Amino acid sequence: MRTSWADSADNSAIGSGNGNSSALPPRGAYVPPHLRNRSLSSEVPAVSHTPAPLPVNDRVNPGGAAPHQGGGYFKADQGRQQGYNSGYQTGGGWNGRGAGRDRGRREANPFENDEVEDQSLDEQENTGINFDAYDDIPVETSGENVPPPVNTFAEIDLGEALNNNIHRCKYVKPTPVQRYAIPISLSGRDLMACAQTGSGKTAAFCFPIISGIMREQYVQRPRVARTAFPLALILSPTRELSCQIHDEAKKFSYQTGVKVVVAYGGAPITQQLRELERGVDILVATPGRLVDLLERARVSLQMIKYLALDEADRMLDMGFEPQIRKIVEQMDMPPPGIRQTLLFSATFPKEIQRLASDFLSSYVFLAVGRVGSSTDLIAQRVEYVLESDKRSHLMDLLHAQRENGICGKQGLTLVFVETKKGADALEHCLCVNGFPAASIHGDRTQQERELALRSFKTGNTPILVATDVAARGLDIPRVAHVVNFDLPNDIDDYVHRIGRTGRAGKMGLATAFFNESNLSLAKPLADLMQEANQEVPAWLTRYAARSAYSGGNRNRRSGGSRFGGRDFRREGSFNKSTDYYGGGTGGGAAGGYGNYGGGYGQGVTSAWD
């Protein structure tokens, strides 16, 4: 039952109906609001959904065994220039790149599936992109000699083959983060970039990397049997995100001659090894699987020219930091200043910025919008719901949504919960009450995870119950509603979760269930909503004031500091002897940034990987 404190302000829910839990039927017998005064017996909705069997992920194609390469130590990397200015269009082979191991293998057209999928999905999907929505976002850059932004892709010399792919992707003009980040990266500078969710960061780091590799006229790579020597490494925290980046990068690099390979945990390593043996220019990987490959000496990082960390703050948080340090500092990767390092995220707490500076040299800091802010494209609602009422309240929302659609359209709904068990239980509850749902979390096999995601994307199960494994980076076009069934403890996690909707200029809706167990989030949540021009319920403002007053707010990014600063180098609070503007190659010093984060011990693989 709702408290009287909350009652007064909580009138904005979609179909919130009466909030009287005592009138509700027992769990597992959900009755939609319009049937509640009638007899329950025959009116409980039957389980209407039996998910159709779906093909398992066919992303990893084993193909034939790769020829074994031995012989001389160095080999010239030929033919890259063909993909650059000459508008390389043959689509065949890799021209000797990656030690020539993939010669003659036909390059699949990554745009083919797009067209098929587009037809099967809502037509609206490819329309309605409104990047003008981002035009008035304040942009801040800091660092020495920051290259100026561009307004069009035509102004940047990315190479004809890449330009063709940008055209195929239907990208008409660069998003703000792309306008700034691409020229900065093309000029060879290291970059720490913070831009809102769904604003095109993937292309912002992929374009310069692909273009840079295409430009290389002549690269010599060591020839060591069974060891791959990628030129670029893109790290991301989850398997699904790595797959997504790989898919995007393959589109961007189509017919450029640049070869992209993905390696992630949970999938058979033998298939990934075969792909690596065929040659790789850009390796997209999760940290755990990459460490495995490095330890088996199947990958060497000694030729890395470009290092990109997507969701960089997450990658440098406690859960991943030891693995990232091992990969970047303790293997054979060239140091900062020799390699180029690009860090991207929608959130960048100052503690993590400070830690990240170890990996950078004379970098440019770029903030599009406020660091860690949510996009105005997402309508945010917060409702006071007791734990015991959450399920029925969610089903009320879903029921109203099914009746009315969101903004007149039926979309996908992503529901975030705190625990894996909670995800299983809620999925089951939704299914037995007639709401087709799938779930994704770290205890599922990779095949199950991919099946659930695919079933959600295609709309077979338009509800996905997820833990934070789906919170970052995933770009699923039709997600119209994100529900924070359980709120996270950290406001940045909230920003990433709600960012699964309201992407690429489209509108989205996010609903959060708040109760006494979320007190520490009251102030940062109220601040964030206010900053995004959202209506903040009076009861939440009161909770926020109370938690601030009692000093009980331990949220690490709460309070004024989160919204005050941007580039941490501009603030005097970090007493580090390095001249941050002057660069320096950093070192291996551990961050010592205190006691927040996931609490993983050294060397423990994160469940996200």
| Binding positions for ligand ATP, rule: CB under 6 A | 129, 131, 171, 174-175, 178, 195, 197-203, 346, 473, 475, 499, 503-504
Tell me whether residue 131 or residue 596 sits nearer to ligand ATP (CB atom): 131
Could you tell me the smallest distance in angstroms from the CB atom of residue 172 to ligand ATP? 6
Could you tell me the smallest distance in angstroms from the CB atom of residue 417 to ligand ATP? 19
Secondary-structure percent of the chain, ordered helix, strand, coil, rounded to 5 = 35, 15, 50
Token output for 410: 């039926």
Residue position matching structure tokens 């006494």: 516
Question: Is the torsion defined by CA of 562, 567, 569, 572 positive or negative?
Answer: negative
Tell me whether residue 201 or residue 305 sits nearer to ligand ATP (CB atom): 201
Task: Say if residues 562 and 524 touch (Cβ distance below 8 Å).
Answer: yes
Q: What's the distance, CA 450 to chain centroid? A: 16
Give the helix ranges, DSSP H, for 253-406: 269-277, 287-295, 312-315, 321-329, 350-356, 390-404
The b/e string for 413-436 (b: 16+ C-beta within 10 A; e otherwise) is bbbbbbebebbbbbbebbbbbbbb
Helix pair 287-295, 321-329: axis angle to 10 deg: 40
As a whole number of angstroms, the distance between CA 165 and CA 264 comes to: 26
Could you tell me the smallest distance in angstroms from the CB atom of residue 362 to ligand ATP? 25
Could you tell me the smallest distance in angstroms from the CB atom of residue 174 to ligand ATP? 5
Could you tell me the smallest distance in angstroms from the CB atom of residue 473 to ligand ATP? 4
> Residues for the chain: how many in total?
609
CA angle 547, 550, 553 (to 5 degrees): 45
Tell me whether residue 348 or residue 384 sits nearer to ligand ATP (CB atom): 348
Could you tell me the smallest distance in angstroms from the CB atom of residue 225 to ligand ATP? 37
The b/e string for 356-385 (b: 16+ C-beta within 10 A; e otherwise) is bbbbbbbbbbbbbbbbbbbbbbbbbbbbbb
Tell me whether residue 199 or residue 340 sits nearer to ligand ATP (CB atom): 199
- Residue 235 — φ and ψ, nearest 5°? -105, 140
Tell me whether residue 501 or residue 553 sits nearer to ligand ATP (CB atom): 501
Could you tell me the smallest distance in angstroms from the CB atom of residue 151 to ligand ATP? 12
Could you tell me the smallest distance in angstroms from the CB atom of residue 348 to ligand ATP? 12
- In angstroms, the Cα distances linking 441 to 312, 467, 608 are 21, 5, 9
Tell me whether residue 132 or residue 588 sits nearer to ligand ATP (CB atom): 132
DSSP structure string for 41-85: TTTSPP----PPP-PPP--S---SPPPP--S-SEEEE--HHHHHT
With CA atoms as reference, report the closest residue to 320 among 364, 265, 282: 265
Could you tell me the smallest distance in angstroms from the CB atom of residue 195 to ligand ATP? 6
With CA atoms as reference, report the closest residue to 289 among 310, 302, 272: 272
Tell me whether residue 257 or residue 499 sits nearer to ligand ATP (CB atom): 499
Tell me whether residue 249 or residue 379 sits nearer to ligand ATP (CB atom): 249
Token output for 288: 């755990």
Tell me whether residue 255 or residue 375 sits nearer to ligand ATP (CB atom): 375
Could you tell me the smallest distance in angstroms from the CB atom of residue 131 to ligand ATP? 6
Tell me whether residue 29 or residue 150 sits nearer to ligand ATP (CB atom): 150
Could you tell me the smallest distance in angstroms from the CB atom of residue 504 to ligand ATP? 3
As a whole number of angstroms, the distance between CA 183 and CA 172 comes to: 17
Could you tell me the smallest distance in angstroms from the CB atom of residue 459 to ligand ATP? 17
Tell me whether residue 133 or residue 228 sits nearer to ligand ATP (CB atom): 133
Task: Say if residues 311 and 244 touch (Cβ distance below 8 Å).
Answer: no
Tell me whether residue 478 or residue 556 sits nearer to ligand ATP (CB atom): 478
User: Cα dihedral angle (368, 373, 374, 376), rounded to 10 degrees?
Assistant: -70
